[in-house]
Structure 1
Amino acid sequence: MRRDRDEWIVGRVATRTFVALPAAGARAVELLRAGETVTRTERLLREETGEEFEIADFVRSLAALGFVARIGERPVPDAPAPRASLPWLTPRRTRLALHPALPVLVAALLTAAAAVLVRRPDLLPGYRDLLWSPHGSLVLVTGAAAGWTLLVAHELAHLATARAAGVPGRMRLGTRLQFLVMQTDISGIELAPRRHRLTAYLAGIALNLSVAASLVLVLAATDAGTTAHRLLAAALLLALLPLPFQCLLFTRTDLYFVLQDLTGCRNLYGDGLAYARHVFRRTVRPRGPGGAADPSAGLPPHERRAVRLYSAVLVAGTAACLAFMAAVTLPADVTLLARAARRLGPGHGPAENADALAVLVVLGGINVLWLATWWRERRRSRSRR
């Protein structure tokens, strides 16, 4: 249990189930956990607050959430806890991820890299650095390998930091609009102190920035024009490329969770989506005074303002992303795949066949993986309804 503004966050880290309760609800949980009966809990709350509470109904709700171990001597069936990724990463082994000195070290590394770039602006990466080889297939394969390595390291940073706070965490593939992503479920971090929560949310970004800063320092000591220099420059750009994506708050990126925490919202994305749908329905089919109620009306004022602003960002950002996919990404992918397919076969040389095969495997594989992940998420979502 953790107090948060005027409410309490109550939950079980093992099952990753959490709810926000008013002070009276949190007090009822404390009394029941201490062994008080339903009747006595009702009486004590009435004496403390002067209000009547239906604790029996409250207990039924808690049991449905998996918060009740037993009623009398009868145990309540419990759902199995979700499996955690890399269980050997224990809180003891990852405790340094939450050490107060770590942000200072990251800041020092970034400062050193910035000082080098001021003196050596030629080290600033550009898109040409990705094209380190004249062979497109080699560029594509090495870029995919380095990109996925950095992606796994990014998520491992989230997992290790959450594990240091005692949160199990689980890594898996997911989709965000047209993007294939790897995501780490760190449900349970809600009960940690704010510094630990924000550190867990920002750990991946800090990892990318630290890798980029280290590469800048190594680049400064490497002779320009060498293969090593070109590879390091490409790796530097690959480390920085995921960072602009973090600004797409409407896709629930790391910065989205920071924003949700700082605004004190419980479900910024879900509430924002519900409000956007309400506004759309009201615009398309106005029903007058008897229309559907505003889903944000029952939220506290600070949440209501944040949700309504976020809903505008959600709609505009989603529309822009889907439009970019339709106008740029999808045509480019189809063109590249079609060209590769035409260059594959006995009528072409070994180099052309190898190049075309690499494009089909890497680019086609990513698109197939996105489709399979998207379908799996839809099936999981339907099964929960």
Structure 2
Amino acid sequence: MKVSLQSKITLYPLSIQKDKKNYIVEEPISGDFFELPEISVDAIKRLDKGEGLAAIEKTLKDSYPEEEVDIIEFVDQLVELGLVQDVDGVRVNRDKEKQAKSVSNAGGFLWIPHWVGHLFFNGTMNKVYLLLLVSNVLILILNPELLPHYKDIFLFDSMVLNVINYLLISIVLILIHEFGHVLAIRSYDLPAKLSIGHRLIFIVFETDLTQAWKLDPKQRNILYLAGMSFEQIILFLSFGFMLLFPDANFVGILSIIVLDIFIKSIYQCCFYMKTDVYYVVENVTGCYNLMESGKIYLSSFLKRHQKSGKNHKEMFQNEWNLIRIYSAFYIVGVFLTLLLTVLYFLPQLYYMFSTIYFNILGAGDRAALWDAIVFLVQTTFMLVLLVYLARKERRKN
């Protein structure tokens, strides 16, 4: 379908709101969101008014003399994004209605009343979560013995029971974390969806917070931090019971909870992944391609191509200093991951597989031998599942 300056363009109904630097444009039928600059939004508004392409191009060239204006190329881009309903009376996207039906039937935890979410996320509760975070940090500083140890996950002699126990606790904590996101977005009467993904070697649940783009940046931050807010409650209660009842039987379970939240909290600061904290930084700065831009900067820096770096500086313009700062935190995140690997994951793996190895050699009884065999089968299944999820995500991308 060829677009010319004489073409008549009809767009789908669009919702437009001002963001920090540019504009967020929503196509309500599909629920897709796009970040567009002012000149693009100006063109869209003129298209909605029925102005001709030639007249729009001339007006934009006069209004934005420093910009390169090609209205036909812009309309082609709108077609690719699925924002054009028809060109010269010919329907462009015939699958839009099916897509709309799919979105409308997607659920989104709409059965949870928005007032329930508002009970947990409001001005007062948000301050409580911040206070709990500060309190938990102070508790760790004053009671360093509460810092988690890599052996905390080994409550039983059986490695199979240890793994199952840790997985169950971890899954429950993940669900609580994600349910925090769900309640937060429901507090604004917006839908959310849960899916399964992975972070490095960890299988995780993920909450789709796409609809957060309907909100202003400060409100989005509440949604991004909601999961960690719920974790602060759990962490504070765990510390409290561990200090009050240090010899109780349930302290072992609480130690696993503390270990799990502690590691995941550190991972939130690993900015080479798109974590909740990363999205907050991205949202506060208004630089919504921070990771991608940071990778470009690091790549050019490592290659030491001065000319390439200069071109990138012109490309990023006002975001250049921010991207350089982010790149430093990107590298810090990599070192944090290596530190966690050295302090926790490698010692845990060594302890587990050395125990399994000696049990297979007959160091233990028959029960220990069968435990080792089941553990190896269990580990193989988890690795297969992880590979499957990684391939599924790669196909999706």
Q: Does 1:265 align with 2:287?
A: yes
Unaligned runs of 5+ in 1: none
In the other structure, the counterpart of 2:229 is 206
1:253 and 1:182 mapped to 2: Cα distance? 13
Are residue 368 (structure 1) and residue 384 (structure 2) matched? yes
AA of the residue aligned to 2:35: A
Paired residue secondary structure (1:251): coil
**1:67 maps to which of 83, 103, 108:** 83
Please say which of residues 317-326 and 176-185 is displaced more in the overlay: 317-326
In 2 relative to 1, CA 100–313 (structure 1 residues): closer, same or farther, beyond 3 Å? closer
Quick one: which of 221, 233, 253 aligns to 2:275? 253
Displacement of 1:166 after TM fit?
A: 5.7
Q: Which residue of the partner structure matches residue 159 of structure 1?
A: 182
Residue 249 of structure 2, aligned match among 197, 213, 227: 227
Distance, in Å, in 1 between the alignment partners of 2:241 and 2:320 is 48
Relative to 1, partners in 2 of residues 1:259 and 1:108: Cα closer, same or farther, differing over 3 Å?
closer
SS at match of 1:183: strand
Q: What pairs up with 1:101-180 in 2 under 5 angstroms?
A: 101-107=124-130, 117=139, 121=143, 124-127=146-149, 129-165=152-188, 168-180=191-203
Q: Report what 2:46 is aligned to.
A: 31
Q: Verify: 1:186 aligned to 2:202, yes or no.
A: no
Q: What are the Cα deviations for residues 66-114 of structure 1, in whole angstroms up to 9, with x where unaligned?
A: 1223345433314536769753335744642543332134346567778
Contact 1:85 1:168 in 2 (8 A): no
- Superposed displacement of residue 62, structure 1: 1.2
Cα offset, 1:343, TM superposition: 3.3
Residues 91 and 24 (structure 1), Cα distance of their counterparts in 2 relative to 1, 3 Å cut: farther
Distance 1:53 1:98, change over 3 A: farther
| Amino-acid identity (%) | 22
Identify which range, 47-56 or 153-162, moves more after superposition: 47-56
The 8 Å contact of residues 246 and 255 in structure 1, kept in 2 or not, is answered as yes
Distance 1:133 1:335 in 2: 13
1:88 matched to which residue of 2? Answer: 109
Tell me what 1:297 maps to: 314
Mapped pair 1:240 → 2:250: no
2:254 & 2:351 partners in 1: Cα distance? Answer: 30
Matched with 1:307 is: 323
The question of 1:12 aligning with 2:32 is answered: no
TM-superposed CA distance for 1:197, in Å, is 1.0
Q: SS at 2:41's partner residue?
A: helix
Contact 1:46 1:53 in 2 (8 A): yes
Paired residue total? 373
Change (3 A) 1:300 1:233: same
8 Å CA contact 1:13, 1:167 repeated in 2: no
SS in 1 for 2:393: helix
Distance 1:261 1:147, change over 3 A: same
Output the aligned Cα RMSD: 4.1
TM-score by length of 2: 0.75
Give, in whole Å, the separation in 1 of the partners of 2:30 and 2:82. 8
Provide structure 2 residue ranges, at least 5 long, that are not aligned to the other structure: 1-15
